[in-house]
Amino acid sequence: MTRRIILSLLAYCFFSAIAPAHTPAPSLVPVFEVTPVHSNIKFQVKASVEIKGKFDDWGATLTFQSPDVTTGVLEINIQAGSVDTGSGMKNKKLKGKDFFDVEHYPAITFKSSKMIQISDDRFEVDGNLSIRGVENPEKLTLIVSHKESHLGDIHGKMIFNRKDYGMNKGIPFISIADHVEIDFHLKTKHVGGPQLALKTQ
C-alpha cells in the first residue's frame, strides 16, 4: 500500500513538471493608466485679487466593468496640503481652518457614480465630491481626445460652491466669490483588455 502511494506521488510530480504552464486569460475589460507626470489639476476662483493655483500631490484611477464606456468609474484623490498658488500667504490661508483645514481633513476626493456620453467627445459624469469631511453630489464635464486606440487626453471641468463645504469665510481685504472652478487634464494610456465601445455620431 505504501509503495503504491509513493508511485502515485512520483507520477503526479512527473506529469505536473512536463504539463504546459497555465496562461492567464487576457483581461475582458479595458485597462487604463493615468500618468500624473503629463497631467495636472488646477483651480481658480473669482476674487478682487487673483486666486488660482494647482495641486502637486494627487492620484487618479479610471476603471471599467466592461467595454461599455458608461460602466466607467473615475476616482480622484488630492492631498489638500499640496495646494500651490505661487504665494506663501495664500497657500497658508487655504490650508488653514477657514478653507481646506488640512490638519483635520488632508484629502479632497471625487468618485463618479454615473458616466454618460453626450456626443463624440463629450461626457457628463455625476459623482460625490468630499472636502473638509463634507460630501456632496457634483457634476463633471469631460472632453476626450485621441479615442481611436485609447482615451488619450481627458480635459475636465467642475464648478462647486465652496460654502456647501463649510468654507464660509474669506481672506482679509480680499473679496472672494462663492463658486470655485476646478480644471484638470489627465493623460491616460490603454494598457490592456479590449478597446472601449464609444458611440460616434
Which are the contacts of 37, defined by CB distance < 8 A and separation ≥ 6?
Answer: none
| d(C-alpha 34, C-alpha 61), whole Å | 6
| d(C-alpha 12, C-alpha 100), whole Å | 63
Q: Tell me the per-residue pLDDT of 133-188, one tens digit each, with 9 for 90 and over.
A: 999 999 999 998 865 555 588 999 999 999 999 999 888 878 999 999 999 999 99
Question: Does an H or E element contain 97, and which?
Answer: none
Is the pLDDT confidence value at 116 over 60? Answer: yes
Query: Which pLDDT score, from 0 to 100, does residue 8 have?
Result: 46
Question: Does an H or E element contain 153, and which?
Answer: strand 153-161
Q: Is 84 exposed, middle or buried (0-12, 13-18, 19+ CB in 10 A)?
A: middle
Q: Are 93 and 171 in contact (CB under 8 A)?
A: yes
Query: Which pLDDT score, from 0 to 100, does residue 166 have?
Result: 96
The total number of residues written for the chain in this structure: 201
* 59 vs 36, higher pLDDT: 59
CB atoms within 10 A of CB 37: 6
pTM of the model: 0.82
Query: Which pLDDT score, from 0 to 100, does residue 25 have?
Result: 45
Is the pLDDT confidence value at 95 over 90? Answer: yes
Structural domains in the chain?
A: 27-192 (2.40.128.110)
100-103, Cβ contacts within 8 angstroms, sequence gap of 24 or more = 100/131, 100/132, 100/167, 101/132
* 55 vs 13, higher pLDDT: 55
| d(C-alpha 186, C-alpha 40), whole Å | 7
Q: Tell me the per-residue pLDDT of 14-25, one tens digit each, with 9 for 90 and over.
A: 444 444 444 334
